[in-house]
């Protein structure tokens, strides 16, 4: 009896139907991305090879991927891939998955760098994760020198791998620690720009997040404390001494946190410009501020 033949197109159709039955939105796209990972083809390549039969090993790997996905594991962790700033990044469960809306931080950083015309911008990213922001800036500004801090050794290893892949490892210095640690190490007053996408989700709201986020992404990367503002309270004390004269801060915020963060900065003082930046959907997405001159 002839062995059943599972072609690319048949597998795509079956996987799409199965994922839809399990409540996965965008089932066709996810089917394509899962199979692309296994066959090492892009999505166009799948359809150019629609009649190619999968091997038993390939089918077994796909079954494993599907089981992980229907249990809620993010697609990006399964494929180990996420694009950010048109750059492919390797990601895993040790890091937060970079979101498209966070690209507004890179846009603002490039705007500030162009405005200030620094010859060799000195930039810090706090909590680099997979390195998406630091690497995007380094690739966009060849003269930039970047320090990227991170508390997780596993995340640092992944970020270093991404920096090497993108050929910017010589211009990014990865440090295990946080803003306070390198401030105490005497590295104060030397940075032009400090940027971060910090944890800002209210602790009580985490349980209502999508299961992909709630159950799989690192809790320390999303938990902002009772009111979501723990990071900012510490940051606005620690950051100013680390900035050079009239240096800049760019921070991602929650959509409803802008006024609270601005008020916090007002009370602490030390900044001559403070404003909220909205993303392309009109939601408050970032705070940008400039240190007052001495």
pLDDT tens across 36-89, in order? 999 999 999 999 999 999 999 999 999 999 999 999 999 999 999 999 999 999
Instruction: Kindly state whether residues 160 and 280 are assigned to the same domain.
Output: yes
Is 235 part of a structural domain of the chain?
yes
**284 has pLDDT over 90:** yes
pTM: 0.93
> How confident is the model at residue 189, as a pLDDT?
66
Comparing 203 with 184, the larger pLDDT belongs to 203
Where a domain ends, among 21, 48, 71? 71
Which CATH number is 67's domain given?
1.10.8
Angstrom distance (rounded) from CA 131 to CA 128: 5
Is 250 part of a structural domain of the chain?
yes
Instruction: Kindly state whether residues 45 and 97 are assigned to the same domain.
Output: no
Is 257 part of a structural domain of the chain?
yes
Instruction: Kindly state whether residues 117 and 258 are assigned to the same domain.
Output: yes
Instruction: Kindly state whether residues 92 and 181 are assigned to the same domain.
Output: yes
Instruction: Kindly state whether residues 53 and 172 are assigned to the same domain.
Output: no
Where a domain ends, among 46, 71, 96? 71
In DSSP terms, 243 is beta-bridged to 191
Instruction: Kindly state whether residues 62 and 89 are assigned to the same domain.
Output: no
Model confidence at 237, pLDDT cuts 50, 70, 90, reads: confident
Supply 36's token pair: 């692309």
Instruction: Kindly state whether residues 18 and 142 are assigned to the same domain.
Output: no
Where a domain ends, among 26, 47, 71? 71
Q: Which residue has the tokens 């706090």?
A: 126
Is 178 part of a structural domain of the chain?
yes
Per-residue pLDDT tens over the stretch 22-42:
999 999 999 999 999 999 999
Per-residue pLDDT tens over the stretch 204-225:
999 999 999 999 999 999 999 9
**253 has pLDDT over 70:** yes
Comparing 188 with 150, the larger pLDDT belongs to 150
> How confident is the model at residue 273, as a pLDDT?
85
Instruction: Kindly state whether residues 236 and 133 are assigned to the same domain.
Output: yes
On average, the pLDDT of the chain sits at: 93
Model confidence at 238, pLDDT cuts 50, 70, 90, reads: confident
**105 has pLDDT over 60:** yes
Instruction: Kindly state whether residues 20 and 155 are assigned to the same domain.
Output: no
> How confident is the model at residue 183, as a pLDDT?
55
Is 15 part of a structural domain of the chain?
yes
> How confident is the model at residue 1, as a pLDDT?
36
Which CATH number is 88's domain given?
3.40.50.150
> How confident is the model at residue 4, as a pLDDT?
81
Is 286 part of a structural domain of the chain?
yes
Least confident residue range of 91-105, 148-162, 261-275:
261-275
Instruction: Kindly state whether residues 65 and 89 are assigned to the same domain.
Output: no
Instruction: Kindly state whether residues 265 and 229 are assigned to the same domain.
Output: yes
> How confident is the model at residue 209, as a pLDDT?
96
Q: 204 with 195: CB under 8 angstroms?
A: no
Alpha helix positions (H), the chain: 8-21, 27-39, 43-48, 56-70, 75-79, 103-116, 132-140, 153-165, 179-184, 211-214, 230-242, 258-268
- Report residue 87: phi and psi, to 5°: -120, 130
Per-residue pLDDT tens over the stretch 165-190:
999 999 999 999 876 565 554 456 68
Supply 258's token pair: 């802008």
Is 121 part of a structural domain of the chain?
yes
Supply 33's token pair: 């991305």
Rounded to 10 deg, the angle between the 56-70 and 27-39 helix axes is 140
**248 has pLDDT over 60:** yes
Instruction: Kindly state whether residues 178 and 221 are assigned to the same domain.
Output: yes
Tally of domains in the chain: 2
Is 162 part of a structural domain of the chain?
yes
Name the residue range of residue 101's domain.
Answer: 82-291
């Amino acid at each position: 009896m002839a062995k059943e033949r599972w072609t690319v197109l048949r597998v795509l159709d079956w996987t799409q139907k199965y994922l839809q039955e399990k409540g996965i939105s965008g089932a066709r796209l996810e089917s394509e991305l899962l199979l692309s990972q296994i066959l090492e083809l892009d999505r166009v390549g799948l359809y150019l090879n629609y009649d190619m039969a999968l091997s038993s090993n390939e089918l077994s790997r796909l079954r494993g991927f599907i089981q992980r996905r229907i249990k809620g594991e993010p697609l990006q962790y399964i494929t180990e891939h996420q694009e950010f700033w048109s750059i492919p990044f390797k990601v895993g469960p040790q890091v937060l998955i970079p979101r498209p809306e966070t690209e507004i931080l890179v846009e603002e950083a490039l705007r500030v760098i162009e405005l200030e015309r620094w010859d060799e911008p000195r930039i810090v990213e706090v909590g680099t994760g997979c390195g998406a922001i630091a690497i995007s800036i380094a690739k966009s500004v060849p003269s930039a020198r970047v320090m990227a801090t991170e508390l997780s050794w596993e995340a640092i290893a992944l970020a270093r791998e991404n920096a090497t892949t993108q050929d910017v490892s010589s211009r990014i210095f990865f440090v295990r620690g946080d803003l306070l640690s390198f401030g105490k190490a005497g590295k104060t007053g030397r940075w032009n720009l400090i940027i971060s996408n910090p944890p800002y989700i209210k602790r009580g709201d985490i349980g209502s997040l999508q299961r992909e986020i709630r159950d799989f992404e690192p809790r320390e990367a999303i938990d902002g404390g009772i009111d979501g503002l723990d990071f900012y309270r510490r940051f606005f004390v620690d950051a100013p001494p680390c900035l050079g004269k009239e240096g800049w801060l760019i921070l991602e915020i929650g959509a409803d946190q802008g006024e609270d963060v601005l008020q916090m900065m007002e009370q602490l003082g030390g900044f001559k410009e403070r404003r909220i930046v909205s993303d392309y959907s009109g939601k408050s997405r970032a705070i940008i501020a400039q240190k007052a001159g001495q």
